[in-house]
Structure 1
Amino acid sequence: MRILIVTDAWHPQVNGVVRTLERVAEEVRLLGHTVLFLTPDLFRTVPMPTYPEIRLAITRPGKVAEKIEAFGPDHLHISTEGPLGQAARRAAINRGWSFTTSYHTRFPEYLRARLPVPESWSYWWLRRFHNAGRGTLVATKSLAAELKAKGFDKVRPWTRGVDAETYRPRKKRVLDFPKPIFLYVGRVAVEKNIEAFLSLDLPGTKVVVGDGPARKSLQERFPKAKFLGEKTGEDLAKAYSSSDVFVFPSLTDTFGIVILEALASGVPVAAYPVTGPIDVLKGTKAGALDKDLGKAALKALKLKRSDARDLALKHSWAACAKMFLREMERAKAQPAAKKSQPK
């Protein structure tokens, strides 16, 4: 099968969406299928308002349709709801092409954190966007239940994985700070709720790995915390394994691949009992969930690193890719969609 994935999230962005798409594509190709990408780097781009690190593609819808036709996919997957995702959706509806979508980001909550836009308005738009396809792939059961309650009518499962060879326990620690070390990894932005982590009264050192629009203000407000900037590959893996607890303060993520990366590195996780953490950690000995994040962090400090690693090994990118491929084949097998007027 030839699968074309349309995504507004792409390099140089460093986030869970990009990592997921790349790793899944690698695994699907190993299964004998072709995966192609339609990304912003094929078009002229402009910086996203309030988040200039993200570049948005600027193009006419017809050009996106032309590129899709040139790729000649058997199935179209629209991964994001940005300009490229919208143009691809419009083209698919107009031409009767089979397509699926995935729900990676809580844009209503992210937008509300920056502008006075009611979440109900944003969810109405997202529901209309996703329900037009043949399935909306989501990473967790709790998120699926939430979206179904909001009127998303074709929600399908698609979990996440981790590279357990790169992210692994290591004897040598590269972070030479007073212990214990409590680590956060991810975008440094208001929606990540990092302030909740940095405000905690914890022993040792708080470390932030990542970059984003809130970094400067947070560094000024919390001078005792260590901000190490963006890290990837081995450098990131070594930072994980040098930590004692991974703190995940987000209340709005749909999964949190960084949770699996920390666990694979043998680092217990502390988080709020919300979508993502609750799906991965509830009922395990690998992490601590509590409405009081400080209590969760101190509880996690007492957990075994081996239990964290064992839980991570249950999540593979190969299994994630097979789930993705199964949903593509399922959607493709459905009766052909009728051509429609633009929506």
Structure 2
Amino acid sequence: MTLRIAFISDAWHPQINGVVTTIENTCSTLERAGHQIKLITPDQFITIPCPTYPSIRLAYACNRKLKRLLNEFNPQRIHIATEGPLGIAARRYCLNRKLAFTTSFHTLFAEYVNLRFKIPVSWGYGFLRWFHAPAKKIMVATSSVESDLKARGFKNTLVRWSRGVNSDFYYPRDKTFISLPRPVCMFVGRVAIEKNIDAFLSLELAGTKIVVGDGPQLKELKARFPDTVFAGFQTGEPLANYMAAADVFVFPSRTDTFGIVMLEALASGLPVAAFPVNGPVDVIGSDKVGRLDENLKKAIAEALQLDAQDCRNYALNYSWANCTRQFFYNLVPAFEKSRDSKNNSIVEHWVK
């Protein structure tokens, strides 16, 4: 028996981030098990640029087409991943038809909006509580996020949906790919204000700082930090080569709910230096693979002393198969009276 699973997300290609990586790997794992996945994403609609971040496209006037797509697919399970225009339209669709659905909490939306538009964080969480309130379950990546949402008044059932890493792609490689003074301290990710990259680049460090990525803050950071190497947007083998050729991965963000890129760095043999905040606290569970300190310079110096093989071994504990198993078990029947007794056998079909 297979299931028809509708997955609605405002985050999708050409974006490359942890949300897209998680959705892509989860859905492909489910499809390999024989389940039918209907991904509803902005590329299927007329879009407009996101304010302050034009490379992100948001679906516009999407209600009618989303309704048609879901009616045609007739899903048995519905998951709404994001709180954007598509997520709001899918929420409305489900409520109008009394369909049960799950949601997930991927990003600190309220904090991001506060950084970009100065809208009070309390207002942002008011919107988020409203958005997620009808969901049967909210999937979160870590216990820290769960505790934070409970403290902020979320009454839903909160369940775990962790993350994975492709360790066959991210692995230790030749360090000579980068021929610059060492140690090489690297950040990989979206070059945007919420990533707090200037906290890394403003440090006085020996060796070379490298930023791999693109985003709305790139021009500003290039002007402010001319001694930093900005490698631009990278994907595929070049990205994996850059990652593995560094000596330490620096993750200065204070607003990530997880940070898959840290797993990718660890799988590549890189220790991680970060602040002791949600995300790094949950991912870097061992002093053998990273250092967390409010003094980021100290964290970097100590992380440089750690063993690459320990980092690699730690990352191997995370797999997309386990991540997908969690996701699948968390889903609820769209029509709650149609609970199927074969749910466990469905799961076993693809987790073996």
TM range (shorter): over 0.9
Matched residue type, 1:190: I
Q: Which moved more, 1:173-182 or 1:315-324?
A: 173-182
Matched residue type, 1:182: C
Q: Find the aligned partners of 1:98 and 1:33 in 2 and give their Cα distance.
A: 19
Q: Which moved more, 1:242-251 or 1:230-239?
A: 230-239
**2:250 is the counterpart of 1:247:** yes
Specify which of 249, 259, 263 is matched with residue 262 of structure 2. Answer: 259
Q: Find the aligned partners of 1:62 and 1:76 in 2 and give their Cα distance.
A: 18
CA contact (8 A) 1:173 1:238 kept: no
Specify which of 133, 144, 149 is matched with residue 142 of structure 1. Answer: 144
- Runs of 4+ in structure 1 off by over 3 angstroms are 333-337
Specify which of 226, 231, 235 is matched with residue 223 of structure 1. Answer: 226
Deviation at residue 283 of structure 1 after TM alignment:
3.3
Deviation at residue 28 of structure 1 after TM alignment:
1.4
Specify which of 286, 290, 294 is matched with residue 293 of structure 2. Answer: 290
Q: Find the aligned partners of 1:226 and 1:168 in 2 and give their Cα distance.
A: 23
CA contact (8 A) 2:45 2:62 kept: no
Q: Which moved more, 1:121-130 or 1:278-287?
A: 278-287
Superimposed CA distance per residue, residues 258-305 of structure 1 (whole angstroms, 9 cap, x where no aligned partner): 000000000000001111110111334100000111110111000001
**2:322 is the counterpart of 1:319:** yes
Superimposed CA distance per residue, residues 9-60 of structure 1 (whole angstroms, 9 cap, x where no aligned partner): 1111111111111111111122231222001111100100111010011124
CA contact (8 A) 1:282 1:289 kept: no
Specify which of 58, 67, 70 is matched with residue 69 of structure 2. Answer: 67
**2:279 is the counterpart of 1:279:** no
Q: Find the aligned partners of 1:325 and 1:304 in 2 and give their Cα distance.
A: 35
Matched residue type, 2:94: A
Q: Give the aligned partner of residue 194 of structure 1.
A: 197
Q: Find the aligned partners of 1:171 and 1:112 in 2 and give their Cα distance.
A: 41
Q: Percent identity?
A: 51
CA contact (8 A) 2:182 2:207 kept: yes
Q: Find the aligned partners of 2:219 and 2:10 in 1 and give their Cα distance.
A: 26
Matched residue type, 2:161: W
Superimposed CA distance per residue, residues 169-220 of structure 1 (whole angstroms, 9 cap, x where no aligned partner): 0134311111000000000000100000001111100000000000000000
Q: Give the aligned partner of residue 208 of structure 2.
A: 205
Matched residue type, 2:141: A
Q: Find the aligned partners of 2:162 and 2:289 in 1 and give their Cα distance.
A: 18
Name stretches of at least 5 consecutive residues in structure 1 with no aligned partner.
Answer: 338-343
Q: 1:333 to 1:215 in 2, by over 3 A?
A: closer
Q: Which moved more, 1:317-326 or 1:33-42?
A: 33-42
CA contact (8 A) 2:99 2:335 kept: no
What is the TM-score of this pair, normalised by structure 1?
0.95
Deviation at residue 72 of structure 1 after TM alignment:
1.5
Q: 1:19 to 1:60 in 2, by over 3 A?
A: closer
Q: Give the aligned partner of residue 301 of structure 1.
A: 304
What are the within-5 Å matches in structure 2 for residues 77-156 of structure 1?
77-152=79-154, 153-156=156-159
Q: Find the aligned partners of 1:85 and 1:67 in 2 and give their Cα distance.
A: 14
CA contact (8 A) 1:181 1:244 kept: yes
Q: Find the aligned partners of 1:289 and 1:143 in 2 and give their Cα distance.
A: 18
Q: Which moved more, 1:86-95 or 1:53-62?
A: 53-62
Specify which of 43, 46, 56 is matched with residue 44 of structure 1. Answer: 46
CA contact (8 A) 1:173 1:241 kept: no
CA contact (8 A) 2:200 2:252 kept: yes
Specify which of 140, 148, 160 is matched with residue 157 of structure 1. Answer: 160
Matched residue type, 1:176: S
Deviation at residue 111 of structure 1 after TM alignment:
0.8
Matched residue type, 2:133: N
Deviation at residue 63 of structure 1 after TM alignment:
2.8
Q: Find the aligned partners of 2:178 and 2:153 in 1 and give their Cα distance.
A: 46
Count, aligned residues: 335
Q: Which moved more, 1:296-305 or 1:56-65?
A: 56-65
What is the TM-score of this pair, normalised by structure 2?
0.93
Q: Partner of 1:173: helix, strand, or coil?
A: helix
Q: Partner of 1:332: helix, strand, or coil?
A: coil
CA contact (8 A) 2:144 2:282 kept: yes
Superimposed CA distance per residue, residues 200-252 of structure 1 (whole angstroms, 9 cap, x where no aligned partner): 11110000000000000000000000000111111111111100000000000
Q: Partner of 2:177: helix, strand, or coil?
A: coil
CA contact (8 A) 2:214 2:232 kept: yes
Q: Find the aligned partners of 2:165 and 2:317 in 1 and give their Cα distance.
A: 9
Matched residue type, 1:142: S
Q: Find the aligned partners of 1:61 and 1:34 in 2 and give their Cα distance.
A: 22
Matched residue type, 1:69: N
Deviation at residue 69 of structure 1 after TM alignment:
1.0
Q: Give the aligned partner of residue 217 of structure 2.
A: 214
